[in-house]
Structure 1
Amino acid sequence: MVLTKNNSAFLDLAPFANLLKSLLFPTALFLFATSIAQSEIDSLSKLINDEANPSRKAELLLKRGVLFSKNERQKGFDDLEQALNFFSKNGDGQGETDSYIAFGNLHFIYGEPQEAARYDSLAMQLAKNIQYKKGRAVAIGNLGREFINLGHLNEAETLIKEAIAIEETFKPLNKDRLAELYNRYNIIVSAKGNYLEGLLLIEKAIALSKGSKNDKQVSLIYSNYANTLSRLSKFDEAVEMHFKVIRLCEKMKDTTGLLRVYNNLGIAFRNGGEFDKAITYYKKSIALAKDAANYKSLGLNYVNLATVYSEKGQLEAMDTLYRQGIEYFEKASDIGGIAFANHNYGNFLVISKNYTEADKRLEEAYRLRKQIGAELAAASSLSVLGKSAMEQKNWKKAEEYLLAAEPFYKGKVRENRNLKELYGYLKTLYTEKENFERALYYQTQELELEKSIFTENEKINALKTETAYEMEKRDMEMSLQKQKQELERQRLLLIGGSVMLILFLISLSLWLRRKQLKERHQAQLINIEQEHRLNLAKSLKNTEQQERKKIAHKLHDEAGSILSIAILNLKQIQADVFKTESKAQEKLETTQKLLGDISESVRNISHTLMPVALEKYGLKAAIHDIVNAVNTSQKLTVEEIIEGLDETSSWSEEYCLTVYRIVQEAMNNIIKHAQATHVLLQLVELEDSVTVYIEDNGKGIDNNLRKDGLGLKMLKSNVAYLNGTIEINGNANNGTFILAELPIEITKKTTLVSKS
């Protein structure tokens, strides 16, 4: 029995209200799992679009079709229909069979077991006609799956046995498919109450799934193993196994697996008497089942939740929960579920003394369970009917129910708890009827079963140990055989590998030698070319500086002197010859002004070509000259910081001139383009280099529109000539900074001006 406590206490509706509040808890997990499936769909879509082979494309369509969620079911069916049409048109019987199987899988995933059974029946018949053994085995196994879901356990058992027999003829075995079939077989025999046989079957499934990469199937097998342990009162082991399944489901983002394991954990905690934990996990399962529209799981969870509240004595809202459970099972067309919900509801109604409705529910449960071959479950319904009749003092009806239940337990030793309860009812019945001989008989039977309960767990442990020993022995034999094969394989690989390694090393050595020679030759060519370019650049630069200096001196010494003499002569003529009234006086003054301007222009050109301050007083003084000239203009203010540069006599003239040109060009660019009002100029002499930092507060540089002009190009060219580095950066309306580092070039100073 599921309900045994006769407690009519009435509490508040808080548990039911808490249940309703928790229904939205795991929605986020469901949505995330959906996104994982979408990623796989997208990957297959790309393969389908790129595939040129029509047959391979149809196979990919079958794979993608079964991945679509229920909200996109038409897309899934369109894929399968397209594949089926291709295989049918080309007379590919195996492809057609696989298409029917895919249709069955999709309908089953969408909670439509009857339609799934129709397609699997078509696949099974077609596979038989074309002698496609693999397709037949899969179709038969899937049809058994649908019959389990519909509650037709006898037919399901026949089909699963047949599928296993076919699968075990294949060489090599497909362990994943066999493990799945043994897992389904465990569900059938456990539903019929044969828990010991179920334990053997599920352990065989676990052994076959060892090393499997199909995490989803492994989680299903572990989940059923935990349920079997729970039925055998191994609560701690069952809970541990359930949490192992949770970790697997979370790894796979498997929402359906999580809602199932939450429900199973609720059952395990309920069986262990931890009702509050059971309620927590039932609520989690309900929330996920609602998001996934899984009606069977919803029905199961509502009935289980009602059962726990009933066992806690919290009887409010029980009718609502049970009726919701029945309604969801009816939506799922699950006969076994409808029977289960009616049985538990009837048991609750017996406790509540509502015998008329209780008997109606229990008789419906018995009828449905008898219909699907769940004999022990049917016997359980008869026992509760007998209990109800006894409480109504209908002794004759109670005796009919209880005696009808007794034969179902024959040969089902593991159901001694329910049988013990049945014997207790019969003892009470015959005591009330004053048939003490029969009452004593059933009391004796009850006591015998009580003894067997204490030794049963020991039998289970012995059976598990024996099974584990046989599996370990078989694994060791297989391991030894594999080791021998591996050693032989390794020996051959070692010989072949050694030969290949020697040949490889010889080839590698020759290749490296050739590569080194080639690289060395290339490096020499590059060095020669670089040295040639550097020498050429220096020669050109030296020639340029010499010519600049020669022109500067000639302009200053020759043209400047001549212009000065001409101006002086004109002044003398003005004083001695011309009269005051003559207009020649005005013309002479104009001529003097023009000659003065020409003289100043020649002087400026001379200083630009070769700064006098640099030549006479050194680099530091020449930099001061530039700063003073800019500050005198009063257009902007230059803040000057110079550290070092006091002793530059050992530096080459071309180095000093290039540093000067860099500062000069930077200042010219700021004056022409920056629209700045303040400039910071900092020169720092380091141990073997000079750092030049120039920053202004001008309009900056728009990096998106930046394009180096002639000035910036000349600046970078001068820095590159000294093998230096330069960074120019700035943002619009935030000014610009220039940072250059110039390695000091020390050479014997030579005069670049040749005597004219």
Structure 2
Amino acid sequence: MADRQGQYAAAVRNYLQAATYLAPLPEAGRTLLTVYANLGNSLQAANQPTEAIRYWRLAASLAPRTGPVPELLPVYLQLARLHLQHARPDSAGQVLRAARPLLPGGELYADQYYFTLGQYYRSTGQPAAARQAFEQAVGFARRKGAAGDEAKLLIELSQLAAQAGDLPAARASLERSLRISEQLGDPRQLADNLDGLARLAEQAGQWAEALRYYRRGHELRDTLAGTAVRAQVAQLETRYRTRQQAAQLRALRQTQAAEQLVLRQQRRLNAVYLALLLALVAAGVLAAALLRYRQRQAARQREQEKALLTAQAVLQGQEEERRRLARDLHDGLGGMLSTVKHYLASARQRAVRPDEASSLVSQSIEHLDSSIGELRRVARNLMPEALLAFGLKQALQDLCASTQKAGPAHVQLHTHGLETRLPQKLEVELYRLVQELLNNVLKHAQAQEVLVQLMRHGPELHLVVEDDGRGFDPAVASTGVGLRSVQARARYLGGTLEVQSAPGQGTSFSLDLRVERE
């Protein structure tokens, strides 16, 4: 009700209360999905796009557990447009493919889906597919009775046809759009149609017709700007100036004489003011120089403190890795080798039958094989062979597979743009960061689904690790060693880390950084 009345703040409060109530209930998956989707729409209407995207993603994360939900279609379309606005067509394509099965139950949004699909095809250099998608969008818009949307889609089709050199088709689409705009009485849309027709006529060499369209469009815009009113005022002013010209000339001569007297006095005052201004400027320059010096000193001190904190957090993470390595060597490998030593000592110190000696040797060999396997596991944790030999993508696949074997969580990995190897130092740091995040998920999150995404678009690199676990309060957990170690690695890489979590709502770590050329 609050949404329909435009009371978006009240709607957001109501949806948040509903989500808090539904989140702990295991059977509330589809209802909670709908609440998150509507909450994202209300936040977008309230001009809070970042929060809206967060709840849309939460809604989308529930989809695999609830099956196709038509309410998710506008959510997917919003996310796809966001990716297209940020020049991430591959991510937009993934979202649109996920949205396609929802069309049979969401025909209300079919025209928007095909419009967004056409934009995706156009951004990826597929004009034929884009034209087909826009034509489908026109059909659905006409069926829905959305004449304004149909007119805009026809302009998109006209532009595609013009780019392909098919000027008759481009003109036919624009003329259809023009007729619809005239019926709707939309002057701005009508002016855009007239401009487009003028450009097409000009390309076809029909100069007279192009001029007619240009004039009509300009007249329409002049009407919108109130040109008629300004022309009437100008005419009245002209008549008044004609009647009063003689009187104005006499008054002008008197005014000039007075102005010359005032000008001489003003020059004297200006000389005094200039001297005062120069003194103030000199004082201001000195004050500004002193302020900049103090600001530079304070900024240098802050940078030093920040670097010290980063180094301390990295050292703490390295110390934790050393302690974990020591435990693995002592508890695993050390115990196995001690057992082998005991068997061999028994065979040497006492006389045994051949069959007993053979049994001791076999057991020793089995424990040595286990020791070798344990040693290889420890070595992989120190520096994975796949990372050095095949790159970050293969190493992350192995890491996600081993993490899935180690716990109950289902781990998914999505990568893009990693065909070219990253700098080795960056690959190692990114691998360590993902490894630490997955270890934290196994230890603390109690998650069922984990998603790891690593996307590269030119020099931009985007890493996301999300889980549907029990979550935490980032303000409370910011003092922990694990979170500080992750933040320190992100600062060391020169990236921007965003942590989104709340009790019972899962956790999302998002890292954005630029890849510098070697």
Structure number with larger C-alpha Rg: 1
The alignment's TM-score, normalised by the length of structure 1, stands at: 0.27
Q: Which has the higher contact order (CA 8 A, sep 6+)?
A: 1
The alignment's TM-score, normalised by the length of structure 2, stands at: 0.38
